[in-house]
Amino acid sequence: MNTSEKLERFKILEVPFNGIGYRAALDILLEFLRTDKNHLVVTPNPEAVMLAQRNSEFLEILNAADLVLPDAIGIILAAKWLNLPINERVPGCDITQDLLKLAKNSSCYLLGAAPTIAEKAAHNLRQQGVNVTGFRDGYYTPEEEPSIIAEIQALKPDILILGMGMPRQENWAFRHCQNLPCKITLCVGGTIDIVAGNVKRAPKIMRKAGLEWLYRLATNPSRAKRMLDLPRFVGAVILRGKR
């Protein structure tokens, strides 16, 4: 039995979360790096949980992942309401950067974000001593995909960071994960933008108050439509969560 199979999961609207804290999640990722299997790691927020209600393939992928980390405060509040032991946020963007800091002997490949952004993120990580073996933006054509797969297969990065938005990154990971010689495939949304310095995190005080979602909405109003899923999430958890 591998590490992730030993971990208990708790379902919120059919999405199974690993209720481990931040430090434990980081330790498990470091353990994955000592194995030969490619582990799929996803970081759903309430919007992802609601997408999974409408998209059964996406729900299946979340259920098949090796580690399902609660990215957002909404998941923690829902768990509280449902009396589930998911107590600490594990933001994908934080854990990715901490993992890269701790696993200096490991290599990584970035796939996602706009072309100049992916390049800037790779540059910034290399400046910090991270071994970035390659990068590619997330706006390639379908015809280009085989060459990207071939490049990743040739470079054999230990950690593959996918930042192509959901559900594209999860679909991609699920389709290719088993054929890629990586140890961790991390689906982490806008992390490449943050590493590049293109998108700023919310100030610490807002993050502590659980208001990062509000900061993201204020700084990027185009997210308003998808954020309509937040009240829908609250309603669904209250009405259906305890069934």
Identify the three-state secondary structure at position 185: strand
CB of 169 to ligand UDP, least distance (A): 7
Of the pair 112, 157, the CB lying nearest ligand UDP is at: 112
Query: Nearer to ligand UDP by C-beta: 108 or 164?
Result: 164
Selected range binding ligand UDP among 16-24, 34-42, 120-128, 164-172, rule: CB under 6 A: 164-172
Closest by Cα among 48, 51, 192 to 119: 192
Verify binding: residue 148, ligand UDP, rule CB under 6 A.
no
Residue 165 within binding range of ligand UDP, rule CB under 6 A? yes
Minimum CB–partner distance for residue 15 and ligand UDP (Å): 14
> Please, what is the angle between helix 56-64 and helix 168-176, to 10°?
60
Q: Can residue 90 be called a binding residue for ligand UDP (CB under 6 A)?
A: no
Residues 98-137 that bind ligand UDP (CB under 6 A): 112-114
CA neighbours within 13 Å on the CB side: how many for 234? 7
Q: How far is CA 124 from CA 69, 75, 196, 198, 232, in A?
A: 25, 31, 7, 12, 38
Among 29, 76, 108, 192, contact with ligand UDP (rule: CB under 6 A) = 192
171's tokens: 């679909």
β-bridge mates for residue 136, sequence order: 111
Smallest separation (angstroms) from ligand UDP to the CB of 91: 11
Q: Is residue 93 part of the contact set for ligand UDP (CB under 6 A)?
A: no
Q: Are 92 and 188 in contact (CB under 8 A)?
A: yes
Residue 139 interacts with ligand UDP (CB under 6 A): yes or no: yes
Please count the residues of this chain forming the interface with ligand UDP, following the rule CB under 6 A: 14
Q: Does 201 bind ligand UDP (CB under 6 A)?
A: no
Rounded Cα gap, residues 242 and 227, in angstroms: 23
Closest CA to 115 of 221, 198, 176, 58: 198
One-letter amino acid of 8: E
Residue 65 interacts with ligand UDP (CB under 6 A): yes or no? no
User: Measured from the CB atom, is 25 or 194 closer to ligand UDP?
Assistant: 194
What distance in Å separates the CA atoms of residue 104 and residue 94, rounded to the nearest whole number?
16
Q: Give the one residue of 74, 91, 190, 241 binding ligand UDP; rule: CB under 6 A.
A: 190
Using CB under 6 A as the binding rule, whether residue 74 contacts ligand UDP is answered as no
Chain residues that interact with ligand UDP, rule: CB under 6 A: 112-114, 138-139, 163-166, 168, 189-190, 192-193
